A = this chain, B = another copy of it.
């Protein structure tokens, strides 16, 4: 572990959700942090003491910072995962936000309480949003020789790995069959020794809330 002169504590639920890419960034950088996974009965009390009633929150030397991607971007800059130029930092931001748009479409499926409507939305997302975005991402990663931005690893690659993994959980292991560069990117990230070691040690996945 790198000796970083700060004390980090990440507050989030026992879920990947909006914190998993932050955990990957810490793992990649080899920086120690406390990975506090909040149990449901503790949440109301913890919630009151967060800046805006939400998690993830990162405590840096006791100082609380809110907002998932604000935290991730800050750590990415600190740990050299933001690309080599401001132009590459911009490309990371664009891809992370666009992955967020795709994830929001996918989450519509999870959020729909009516099972018939849920299947309709799932069918639409599977037929429209997923191939639309994935084919664009595939092209970018292919053109960059296996990276989402530039020619080296960035936090955008880690966000890709987390989300592509999630899509495979939801849509089956064949979900990325038409996207060899994306599959390659995901596998490459998951084979980085520090990430691999984190994945082996992380708690078993809790089921995602379905409402």
* Interface residues of chain A: helix, strand, loop or mixed (majority): helix
| Chain A: number of interface residues, binned into ranges | 20 to 34
* Stretch from A7-15, A19-27, A38-46, A72-80 forming part of the interface with B: A72-80
Please name all residues of chain B whose beta carbon is closer than 8 Å to the beta carbon of A97 when the two chains form the complex: 66-70
* Stretch from A86-94, A164-172, A175-183, A200-208 forming part of the interface with B: A86-94
Copies of this chain, whole number: 2
Q: How far is the CB of A106 from chain B (nearest CB, A)?
A: 15
Cross-chain contact B133 with A52 (CB below 8 angstroms) = yes
Nearest-CB residue, chain B, relative to A140: B51
- Contact among B54, B69, B94 with A65 in the assembled complex (CB-CB below 8 Å): B94
Cross-chain contact A65 with B90 (CB below 8 angstroms) = yes
Please name all residues of chain B whose beta carbon is closer than 8 Å to the beta carbon of A113 when the two chains form the complex: none
Nearest-CB residue, chain B, relative to A74: B90
